[in-house]
Amino acid sequence: MSPLASRSLGDRMPFSVSTIVRQQMNKGSKPVLEAASKNIEKEAVENAAKKESKKKAESKDIKQLFGLAKPEAKSISAAIALLVISSAVTMSVPFSMGKIIDIVTHPEIKEYLGFTMPQFMGALSAVFVLGALANSGRVLLFRLAGERIIQRLRNDLYVNILKQDMAFFDKNRTGELISRLSVDTAIVGKSITGNVSDGLRALATAVVGSSMMLWVSPKLTAVMMIVVPPVSIFGILYGRYVKTLSRQTQTALSEITKLGEERISSIRTVQAFAKENIEGNRYWDKVMGVYDLARKEAIASAVFFGGAGLSGNLAVLAVLWYGGHMVMTNDITIGQLASFMLYTAYVGTSLGVKMKTNSLTSFYSEIMKGVGAAERLFELQNKQSAIQLESGKILDNLRGKIRFENVFFTYPTRPHSPIFKDLSLDIQPGTVIAIVGSSGSGKSTIGSLLLRYYDTDKGSIYIDDENLKDINLHWWRENVGVVSQEPVLFAGTIHDNIAYGKENATIDEIKEAATKANCASFIESFHDGYQTIVGERGVSLSGGQKQRIAIARALLKNPSILVLDEATSALDAESEVLVQDALNHLMQGRTVLTIAHRLSTIRSANLVMCLEDGGVAEMGTYYDLLNKKDGVFRKLVELQSLGGPSQQKKQHDNHHHNNNNNIDHSRN
């Protein structure tokens, strides 16, 4: 390298870098060149590996895509047989038309293949009827097979989604999953049934039509084939481009679905903050993103089909000119030229020279769209949950003993914010324990870990001295009842929401649970009673009514262990009394973990556990913890305005004796 070149190179670099380079150049440029060569070689190897990996993934997706049609092998085979019949009839049309023209233009010909003209027309009509019936059967069988594939795909995908662990739902929004279930499955189903049907028909037309063109006139065929290579090459490029756009479009559509689902389901919040126009603009931006992708595909389609159409039309002009000359020289007849032109039209249509949906070009582009959508689907369908539902042992007699041993836990979406650091606790069967602590201390997380929505990072959770990871999770969750601060009701009837707690529950069992939950009276006051529609997420009911229906659902489930996640904190005084009375029915004879702020709930517990700094700061009875001068629980009581300690001390004598009796009873 010349001094001038090295100086200009150094001028474009930071001082420290250019200095090092100059020093290396002074020593000799060999080390620098070797390092640069190694970097270039490394990048080339990495890029080649990426391309190879991409090809393998695409090949795997295509194989899995067509594997979806395997259960429909019989229907599809029958449809292909009908396709052969209908295609054979279709491809006989140009030949028949040419012969008819020759017979008409030559009156001396009275018969053809032993048939008079009326007989030949009648036979041809019968053949056309057969072709029409075969074509109808083909469409029907392919369509039904496609719908069954979509049905199975949606169901399998939905079931697999339901079996995922909670970390999966933390990372994937509801709208995106719904988009994959609805939009992507339809695209995949269409690409391997109706699209394959049209593609096979176009392939048969192209192959048979080209063969007949060659048979009629090799010279005219040579002229016509000039257009095939460029159209085929551009068709492949067009299909690959459409595949890329398809994947981007599906992603953009899922973003629209996510935004729409989230905002419409929270319409009260949107309207309360008068954000209708802002949300409309936000949705418009997402819609414009989809439009831009559709515009790119439209431009690509316009360029390809316009160019292909022009090529085909020019080829037809050349065939007409040269074919007319051959007719004049008696090399071919007028009927043969007419047959050739019809075959040319059929082949051109099958190749996609004209913008047709049943051409080989559209077949390839639709397959690529299917592959683009399938990549997203198979990624989801093949995903295995880190937490398995059905494996593990079932305990013979669940007593309700719970033990957390040296538990460390961090939410997967917040890896740098640990919740628990060496948490240990021991809850005896039948104990009612109140869990308190400041916001973010991990109160609700205990319930999530107990239900095994997540696994611990370190440490273990034991149920009746059995590791929770070794217990059948489906069975375990059936034995745990949950009543949360914001109970989730489904958009059905009150009857359906209560019955969700027990499969095949009778109406008498449902009414008994409603009575114990103090909700029978308001349910029966409704015009439709238990058949009253509660609206999406129970929107037509008050907070207290929803809470009591959730308690009735938990009562019907009859769990051995109960988790109450601030079940009364959002209620007014009157509703709290009714809900608390219902909870008292629910808590009898069960191990109960109650996450609470209200004194009435905390005071009635056998034990109070206070969380702080990722572990148990204090544990004891309500009054024992309240009497600790510098205790964490006492400070929480004062800070949260639950009542000053001096006021609670006055109640100590009235409740201390009963509280001790309850603790002794639970331990026994």
| CB-CB contact of 594 with 432 (8 Å) | yes
CATH of 389-479+568-668, one of 3.40.50.300, 3.40.50.720, 3.20.20.10, 3.10.450.50: 3.40.50.300
The predicted model scores a pTM of: 0.65
User: In this predicted structure, what is the pLDDT of residue 10?
Assistant: 42
pLDDT in tens, 233-257: 777 777 778 777 877 887 787 778 7
Domains 68-381 and 487-558 share a fold: no
| pLDDT of 33 strictly over 60 | no
Distances in whole angstroms, Cα of residue 204 to Cα of each of 211, 350, 621:
11, 9, 83
Confidence of residue 627 (pLDDT cuts 50, 70, 90): confident
From 233, 216, 197, select the one nearest 86 (Cα to Cα). 197
> What is d(CA 213, CA 342) in angstroms, rounded to the nearest whole number?
9
**Range scoring the smallest mean pLDDT among 257-261, 364-368, 567-571:** 567-571
Task: Over range 629-658, report the average pLDDT.
Answer: 58
Task: Over range 205-228, report the average pLDDT.
Answer: 80
User: In this predicted structure, what is the pLDDT of residue 606?
Assistant: 85
Q: Which residues pair with 600 in a beta bridge?
A: none
User: In this predicted structure, what is the pLDDT of residue 5?
Assistant: 43
User: In this predicted structure, what is the pLDDT of residue 657?
Assistant: 42
Mean confidence (pLDDT) of the chain: 77
**Range scoring the smallest mean pLDDT among 274-278, 360-364, 369-373:** 360-364
| pLDDT of 655 strictly over 60 | no
In single-letter form, the type of residue at position 588 comes to Q
In order, the DSSP letters of 78-92 are HHHHHHHHHHHHHHH
Q: Which residues pair with 563 in a beta bridge?
A: 482, 593
Which has the higher per-residue pLDDT, 547 or 467?
467
* CATH H-level, domain 487-558: superfamily: P-loop containing nucleotide triphosphate hydrolases (3.40.50.300)
User: In this predicted structure, what is the pLDDT of residue 133?
Assistant: 92
| CB-CB contact of 354 with 305 (8 Å) | yes
Most confident range (mean pLDDT) of 70-84, 365-379, 596-610 is 70-84
Kindly list the domain boundaries of the chain, sorted by start residue: 3-55, 68-381, 389-479+568-668, 487-558
β-sheet with 466-467: strand ranges across: 418-427, 402-410, 458-463, 466-467
**Range scoring the smallest mean pLDDT among 104-108, 142-146, 330-334, 447-451:** 104-108
User: In this predicted structure, what is the pLDDT of residue 569?
Assistant: 59
From 520, 196, 497, 505, select the one nearest 358 (Cα to Cα). 196
| pLDDT of 501 strictly over 80 | yes
Confidence of residue 668 (pLDDT cuts 50, 70, 90): very low
In the chain, % of residues over pLDDT 90:
2
User: In this predicted structure, what is the pLDDT of residue 462?
Assistant: 92
- Each residue of 128-144: b (16+ CB within 10 Å) or e? eeebeebbebbbebbee
Task: Over range 129-158, report the average pLDDT.
Answer: 86
Work out the number of other CB atoms within 10 angstroms of the CB of residue 51: 10
> What is d(CA 454, CA 444) in angstroms, rounded to the nearest whole number?
12
Cα dihedral sign for 262, 266, 272, 276? positive
Output helix, strand, coil percentages for the chain, rounded to the nearest 5: 70, 10, 20
- SS3 string of 204-265? HHHHHHHHHHHHHCHHHHHHHHHHHHHHHHHHHHHHHHHHHHHHHHHHHHHHHHHHHHHHHH
- The alpha carbons of the chain give a radius of gyration, in whole angstroms, of 38
Confidence of residue 18 (pLDDT cuts 50, 70, 90): very low
Work out the number of other CB atoms within 10 angstroms of the CB of residue 257: 21
Work out the number of other CB atoms within 10 angstroms of the CB of residue 187: 22
| pLDDT of 401 strictly over 80 | yes
* CATH H-level, domain 68-381: superfamily: ABC transporter type 1, transmembrane domain (1.20.1560.10)
Task: Over range 582-592, report the average pLDDT.
Answer: 75
